[in-house]
Amino acid sequence: MPQKKTKRRSAPSTLKTKIPSYLFVKKSGIHRKGVFAKRDIPEGTRVIEYVGEKITKAESERRAEKAAQRAEKKGTKARVYLFDLNKRYDVDGDVSYNAARYINHSCDPNCESDTIGGHIWIIAIRKIRKGEEISYNYGWGVEDYKDYPCRCGSPECVGYMVAEDDWPKL
């Protein structure tokens, strides 16, 4: 009987799989793992590209639902690494070669995301000091916000991982 072929989610041979030399991943006080600066990073720097598998919005919804179902069975929270690319596509960053997936949310972030030429970049919005954890505001809406508590620890923390524009709604 022929074996079912499974999709491999490893790095394409043309894609570098290591984290940039000026960053490192380690245990984070915010959530499990985080990305940290090995040296000072100037404001405006493209810190790291958020990479992964380019998928349709429909596939993105399917994967998010599947992750939610798995988490519900286990009694845990779903972990998804889906990032909006454009109106038709998302990037599923749940791949071994995407160190940017370890960047945590903060209500007082030092970076923001921006899509430039079909690539998702995490960009420094202020100078980042050596040893500082890289963070950005995930920009999530207020739907189900209570399911996503924030642990950033900043004095500006609103308690949930929501976009700053939605803070007044909390």
Whether the CB-CB separation of 41 and 22 falls below 8 Å is answered with yes
CA distance to 2, 15, 118, per residue, from 97 (Å): 30, 8, 18
Q: How far apart are CA 20 and CA 30, in angstroms?
A: 22
**Residue 74: what are its φ and ψ, rounded to 5°?**
-85, -10
List beta partners, residue 89: 56
> Which residues are within 8 A (CB) of 3 and not within 5 positions of it... i.e. 6 or more apart?
none
Which regions in the chain score pLDDT beneath 70?
1-18
Q: What angle is formed at CA 122 by the lines to CA 160 and CA 25, rounded to 5 degrees?
A: 80
pLDDT value of position 34: 97
Whether the CB-CB separation of 30 and 153 falls below 8 Å is answered with yes
List beta partners, residue 24: 36
Whether the CB-CB separation of 105 and 145 falls below 8 Å is answered with no
Per this entry, what is the length of the chain?
A: 170
Q: How far apart are CA 44 and CA 120, in angstroms?
A: 15
pTM beyond cutoff 0.75 = yes
Q: What angle is formed at CA 18 by the lines to CA 121 and CA 24, rounded to 5 degrees?
A: 80
pLDDT value of position 18: 66
